[in-house]
Amino acid sequence: MKFVCMKCESFMSFENVQVPGEQSLGVTFGCPTCGAKVAMVTNPGETAMVNALGVKIGGRTTPAAPMELTRESLKEGTAAALPPASEQQAMLAKEMETPSAGKCPFSSMIAQMQTGATAAEGSALTWTEAATERLEKVPSFMRPMIQMGVENYARKNSIATVTPEVMDQSKNDPGDLSWSQEAERRLDNIPSFIRPMAKKEIERIAKERGMTQISEALMEESKSKFIGMGY
Amino acid sequence: MAPEKDLKSILKKIQFTDDAQVMKQIVDQSLQVKTRMGRIRRKLVVMSGKGGVGKSMTTANLSLALARAGHRVGVLDVDLNGPCIPKMLGMNDGAFQFTTEGALPPIGPHGMKIASMAFFLRPDAPLQWKGPMELSPVWLGLQEMSVIREFLADVAWGELDYLVVDLPPGAAADKPPVIAGYIPELDGGVVVTTPSEVAKQVVKKSVVYARDVGIRLLGLVENMSGVLCARCGAPTPLFDGGCEDLCAALDLPLLGKIPFSQEMSRACDAGRPLAPDHLIAKRFDAIADRVQKCLALDSVVV
């Protein structure tokens, strides 16, 4: 697939790839002549279709691991125990060895995230076997991003060992999100038995949109999801 | 206002470079299948348009018969949603070893190499893929094709005399062409049915379809061809008639008849192959012999 800058009559170049939401990929291309940018965003069905092809967008830089697609595509909770973590990590490390050499946007992104995180943070964390096993169930192209998120959470909270519980906590961590007074008041109106779920969902929406504060307007907008909850 | 530019004329002017190399990757995948399959002398599929007629039982016992005859045999269970070959062969605890050479399959009875989706799943877990089933399952067929391709390309079978592939039920729609597409030198298919008119009607369609997509069919196995008395071993018919009429209509050799036997069903459930001198094991030896003769016809005739 190629994008063409109609104005300059040239092919656009790949610039970066992001994960704008769950089961979605965003790939940005730019015109080398005029600098115009275009981003392609896949919906979950398209993302699954791309994954199902078993090809790496942008080209492979290293051979695929045996049964890679099968192992990485199984839904969490259905897969039997995977091979030793060390083997898989070695494979991933090998994949990440030459971040600038590959043409694959996804592996480039992963490589940049990996090296960026190492340089910025430095301090080593210990992952328990159970946490490592769980991390390995994440598709390889998203794994470094998830790992970085969990490790950032652990460092922020002075946690030395990453366990599955820490992974759960990091998922629910609001990060730098804050709640306005009015939004908090409305949150209190939601029946207590359902409040944690509603809070989590609203924070998820806010994070997805890159917001730093949850406002009354967002509460109003998200209301349709919680009709009847009384807020 | 400047006239709108014509994309076709723009594309003629600029040079296309294939950075993505998607086609090359797909070609590489096919080449890897070809390389693996090139080390296997005979590739067979066991198929039927109807579910519950005994495809997996036939696959397991035909493979055992070939192995008893001294051949190096691999069994590939591509019934992704209902894999049962490992259980029938006592391989429930089997697992692949992932090496740089590929996925090494576990070794079963008579040294047979076994590969199955069951080795990737927790014992009671159904097969579920990551992906938006609720929004659009259109990617699912592509996913299954790619997984089958991985089984053919990534399992380190080594050198084999026979690879016997157990296809899923209702296979008329997609799996045979997928398999045939990946293994152009597929040696043939073995069709399984019961003598039930209902089963025969469906199986007939799958035979026509398989031939349409270029799969050479070696013959038909009639399963549940009567029932053997658990006490005296005397056969009693289960259905009116057999599959001779179907075979005649389709011009398909009848490879053999397998009666229902309690000992056989117990053996399958327990994952213990029948003793080689058991009546049913002998019937499968005869079927394996006929399969080999059908395959050898090429060298006799040419």
Does the distance separating the beta carbons of A73 and B129 come in below 8 Å? yes
Q: What is the pLDDT of residue B135?
A: 61
Q: What is the pLDDT of residue B51?
A: 87
- In this structure, the dihedral spanned by the alpha carbons of residues A100, A103, A106 and A112, taken in order and rounded to 10 degrees, is 10
Does the distance separating the beta carbons of B14 and A10 come in below 8 Å? yes
CA distance B110 to B63: 10
Task: Give A185 to chain B, closest Cα distance, Å.
Answer: 35
Q: What is the pLDDT of residue A30?
A: 87
CA distance B78 to B168: 7
Helix (H) or strand (E) holding A20: strand A13-21
With respect to residue B108, please indicate whether it lies within any of the assigned structural domains. yes
The mean pLDDT of B11-38, rounded to a whole number, is 81
CA distance B171 to A129: 40
Residues of A with CB below 8 A from B142's CB? 49, 52-53
With respect to residue B264, please indicate whether it lies within any of the assigned structural domains. yes
Domain containing residue B115: 8-296
Does the distance separating the beta carbons of B154 and A45 come in below 8 Å? no
Closest CA to A50 of A109, A110, A105, A108: A105
Does the distance separating the beta carbons of A4 and B24 come in below 8 Å? no
With respect to residue B301, please indicate whether it lies within any of the assigned structural domains. no
User: Whats the size of chain A, residue-wise?
Assistant: 231
Does the distance separating the beta carbons of B130 and A71 come in below 8 Å? no
DSSP secondary structure code for residue A123 in this structure: -
Does the distance separating the beta carbons of B98 and A66 come in below 8 Å? yes
CA distance B222 to B196: 10
Does the distance separating the beta carbons of B14 and A73 come in below 8 Å? no
Q: What is the pLDDT of residue A145?
A: 64
Q: Interhelix angle for A143-156 vs A105-121, to 10°?
A: 20
* pLDDT digit string, tens, across residues B70-86: 999 999 999 898 899 99
Say yes or no: A55 contacts chain B, CB-CB below 8 A.
Answer: yes
Percent of chain B clearing pLDDT 90 (strictly above): 51
Beta bridge partners of B162: B42, B73
With respect to residue B302, please indicate whether it lies within any of the assigned structural domains. no
Decide if pLDDT at B118 tops 90.
yes
With respect to residue B188, please indicate whether it lies within any of the assigned structural domains. yes
* pLDDT digit string, tens, across residues A33-43: 898 988 888 87
Q: What is the pLDDT of residue A89?
A: 43
Helix (H, G, I), strand (E, B) or coil at A220: helix
Closest CA to B164 of B212, B113, B206, B215: B113
| HSE value, Cβ hemisphere, 13 Å, CA-based, for A136 | 24
With respect to residue B2, please indicate whether it lies within any of the assigned structural domains. no
* pLDDT digit string, tens, across residues B188-207: 999 999 999 999 998 998 89
Alpha helices in chain B (DSSP H): 7-13, 22-37, 55-68, 85-88, 139-154, 175-182, 197-212, 244-250, 262-270, 279-301
Residues of A with CB below 8 A from B117's CB? 70
**pTM of this prediction exceeds 0.80:** no
**Mean pLDDT across chain B, nearest whole number?**
87
Q: What is the pLDDT of residue B72?
A: 98
Q: What is the pLDDT of residue B43?
A: 95
B73 close to B243: Cβ distance less than 8 angstroms? no
Q: Say which CATH number the domain at B88 has.
A: 3.40.50.300
Q: What is the pLDDT of residue A116?
A: 38
| Residue ranges in chain A modelled with pLDDT below 50 | 84-86, 88-89, 92-93, 95-122, 227-231
With respect to residue B105, please indicate whether it lies within any of the assigned structural domains. yes
Q: What is the pLDDT of residue A104?
A: 39
Which ipTM did the prediction report? 0.80
With respect to residue B3, please indicate whether it lies within any of the assigned structural domains. no
Q: What is the pLDDT of residue A80?
A: 80
Contacting residues for A103 by C-beta, under 8 A, at least 6 apart: A14, A58, A59, A61, B19, B20, B21
- Total domains in the fold of chain B: 1
Say yes or no: A75 contacts chain B, CB-CB below 8 A.
Answer: yes
More confident residue, B237 or B170: B237
B247 close to B277: Cβ distance less than 8 angstroms? no
**Which of A133-142, B55-64, B159-168, B259-268 is predicted least confidently?**
A133-142
Residues 6-35 of A with CB under 8 A from B: 6, 9-11, 14, 23
